[in-house]
């Protein structure tokens, strides 16, 4: 995949006024972004992935104070890559933000170790931003639905050949286990955690029952909850909380869970390519919409909210954006009345201003108050804030 794709995350405006903590899973393009899209050349760059640098700065975090004092600009920009490898550096960064005009761009692939060791997360002195895998907006004509569903949107995997995907994706998961989990001691029993990962992949885009999962993995309920939190803190997964504002139908209170990219799901479940019409196609299509909704919120509308809705009587709507836009996803070219049941049930609550069905139709339709949109049209309207 070509490296000159323009990412939609805008850090330049934020860095002009404040320090930034940029978090994102491994290989989502943080380093390439810093190289290609920063409008300002850093006065100092520290890569903690370099082992020599890591050892040097681990032994003497105060070196940062000395290096910053020697910079030619009072309001210079300092980049520290993979800050979670030396959490203690955040104390030095905090001090320098307070005492100088230096701005920092800190990147990391995990927030768990920072919080676990009780290190301050800069207390509002730095803006938090997130880098996600590619989106259709960024890829433009290079976006291919079949490829996105089968190979995910992690830059290094989306662009690989289908023949190389299995090996490359397995290596990615192995790197995550080795560098994020084993190396940082985030799971004491690594074999149990590996078993858990496969179970978590089966739970992708589904409600979580911690008790049942604990039995499947052979560990305690608390351990399973901790394992899920590891995935969230290392940015590999995220919860989707239920929408509970309705009054006519009682809603469930259990969150759903999504792994951050389809490539992980396919690899952990040892699936072949996700072909249209297959039993997995619908789940992966839903995940694609979830990813783009998350990217929209992260890059364009950070005050927005995202939930799902499911009544105890089994009506369900995949996503609720901002508490008033209901979005259902169906991987079909011929939407039927049955595909609208959840939207109709939710509309009875009187809280939704827009009902949307995203599917594989060729042209937009409107049926009984529901906008039936092709994927491309939905994404265009979402990004333009015209839903």
CATH of the domain at 142: 1.10.10.10
- Of 97, 130, 163, at which residue does a domain stop? 130
Residue 191: pLDDT band by 50, 70, 90 thresholds?
Answer: confident
Q: Are residues 153 and 181 in the same domain?
A: yes
- Of 100, 130, 160, at which residue does a domain stop? 130
In-domain check, residue 222? yes
Q: Are residues 18 and 167 in the same domain?
A: no
Rounded Cα gap, residues 204 and 104, in angstroms: 36
Q: Are residues 234 and 361 in the same domain?
A: yes
Q: Are residues 254 and 300 in the same domain?
A: yes
In-domain check, residue 95? yes
Q: What is the pLDDT of residue 114?
A: 67
Rounded Cα gap, residues 369 and 356, in angstroms: 9
- Of 69, 100, 130, at which residue does a domain stop? 130
Average pLDDT over residues 255-262: 96
pLDDT tens string 122-154: 667 888 899 999 999 999 999 999 999 999 999
In-domain check, residue 193? yes
User: Mutual orientation of helices 210-217 and 221-233 as an angle, nearest 10°?
Assistant: 100
pLDDT of 75 above 70: yes
Average per-residue pLDDT for the chain: 91
Q: Are residues 150 and 253 in the same domain?
A: yes
Task: State both tokens at 300.
Answer: 């364009």
Q: Are residues 169 and 287 in the same domain?
A: yes
pLDDT of 296 above 90: yes
Q: Cβ neighbours of residue 360 under 8 Å, at least 6 residues apart? A: 331, 332, 333, 374, 375
Q: Are residues 152 and 261 in the same domain?
A: yes
Q: Tell the burial category of 323 from Cβ atoms under 10 Å away from its Cβ (0-12, 13-18, 19+).
A: middle
For 138-175, letters b (16+ CB in 10 Å) and e give: bbeeebebebbbbbbbbbbbbbbeeeebeebbeebbee
CA distances from 135 to 56, 69, 118, 142, 188 (A): 38, 40, 34, 10, 35
Strand partners, 366: 371
In-domain check, residue 87? yes
Q: Are residues 120 and 229 in the same domain?
A: no
Alpha helices in the chain (DSSP H): 12-15, 30-37, 51-59, 63-69, 89-99, 112-116, 136-139, 145-151, 155-158, 162-175, 190-202, 210-217, 221-233, 262-268, 281-299, 341-347, 375-383
Please report the DSSP string for 23-84 in residue order: E--TTSSHHHHHHHH-SS--SEEEETTSHHHHHHHHH-TTHHHHHHHT-S-TT-EEEEESGG
Q: Cβ neighbours of residue 81 under 8 Å, at least 6 residues apart? A: 30, 31, 34, 45, 46, 47, 48, 49, 107
Structural domain tally of the chain? Answer: 2
Residue 77 belongs to domain spanning: 12-130
Share of the chain above pLDDT 90, in %: 71
Q: What is the pLDDT of residue 147?
A: 95
Q: Are residues 238 and 345 in the same domain?
A: yes
In-domain check, residue 271? yes
Contact 286, 358 (CB under 8 A): no
CA distances from 320 to 25, 89, 177, 295, 342 (A): 25, 39, 33, 15, 12
pLDDT tens string 192-224: 888 888 888 999 999 999 999 999 888 899 999
| Beta strand pairing call for 325-329 and 316-321 | antiparallel
Please report the DSSP string for 92-109 in residue order: HHHHHHHHS--EEEEEES
In-domain check, residue 197? yes
Average pLDDT over residues 162-169: 92
pLDDT of 107 above 90: yes
Q: Cβ neighbours of residue 155 under 8 Å, at least 6 residues apart? A: 1, 5, 27, 28, 29, 32, 133, 134
Q: Are residues 168 and 102 in the same domain?
A: no
Q: Are residues 93 and 150 in the same domain?
A: no
Residue 46: pLDDT band by 50, 70, 90 thresholds?
Answer: very high
Q: What is the pLDDT of residue 249?
A: 83
In-domain check, residue 2? no
In-domain check, residue 5? no
- Find the CATH number of the domain harbouring 56: 3.40.50.300
Residue 118: pLDDT band by 50, 70, 90 thresholds?
Answer: very low
Average pLDDT over residues 2-10: 83
| Beta strand pairing call for 19-23 and 126-130 | parallel
pLDDT tens string 336-366: 999 999 999 999 999 999 999 999 999 999 9
Q: Are residues 24 and 63 in the same domain?
A: yes
């Amino acid at each position: 995949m070509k490296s000159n794709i323009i990412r939609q995350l805008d850090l330049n405006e934020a860095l002009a006024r404040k320090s930034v903590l940029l978090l994102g899973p491994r290989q989502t393009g943080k380093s390439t972004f810093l190289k290609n899209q920063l409008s300002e050349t850093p006065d100092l760059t520290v890569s903690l992935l370099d082992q020599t640098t890591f050892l040097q700065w681990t032994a003497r975090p105060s070196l940062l104070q000395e290096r910053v004092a020697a910079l030619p600009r009072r309001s210079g920009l300092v980049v520290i890559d993979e800050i979670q490898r030396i959490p203690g550096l955040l104390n030095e960064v905090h001090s320098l933000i307070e005492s100088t005009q230096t701005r920092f761009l800190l990147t990391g692939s995990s927030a768990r170790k920072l919080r676990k060791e009780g290190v301050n997360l800069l207390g509002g002195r730095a803006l938090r931003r997130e880098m996600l895998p590619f989106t259709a907006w960024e890829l433009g004509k290079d976006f291919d639905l079949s490829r996105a569903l089968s190979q995910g949107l992690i830059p290094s995997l989306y662009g690989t050949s289908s023949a190389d995907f299995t090996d490359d994706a397995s290596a990615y998961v192995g790197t995550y286990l080795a560098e994020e989990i084993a190396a940082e001691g985030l799971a004491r029993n690594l074999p149990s955690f590996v078993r858990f990962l496969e179970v978590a992949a089966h739970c992708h885009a589904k409600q979580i029952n911690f008790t049942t999962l604990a039995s499947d993995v052979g560990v305690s309920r608390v351990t399973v909850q901790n394992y899920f939190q590891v995935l969230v803190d290392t940015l590999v997964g995220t919860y989707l909380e239920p929408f509970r504002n309705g009054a006519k139908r009682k809603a469930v209170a259990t969150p759903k869970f999504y792994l951050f990219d389809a490539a992980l799901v396919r690899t952990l479940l040892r699936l072949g390519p996700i072909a249209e019409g297959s039993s997995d196609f619908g789940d992966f299509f839903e995940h694609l919409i979830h990813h783009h909704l998350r990217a929209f919120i992260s890059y364009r509308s950070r005050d927005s909210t995202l939930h799902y809705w499911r009544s105890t009587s089994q009506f369900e709507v995949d996503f609720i954006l901002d508490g008033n836009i209901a979005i259902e996803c169906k991987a079909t070219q011929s939407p039927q009345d049955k595909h609208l049941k959840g939207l109709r049930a939710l509309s009875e609550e009187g809280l939704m201003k827009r009902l949307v069905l995203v599917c594989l139709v060729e042209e937009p339709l409107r049926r009984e108050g529901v906008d039936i949109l092709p994927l491309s049209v939905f994404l265009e309207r979402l990004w333009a804030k015209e839903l």
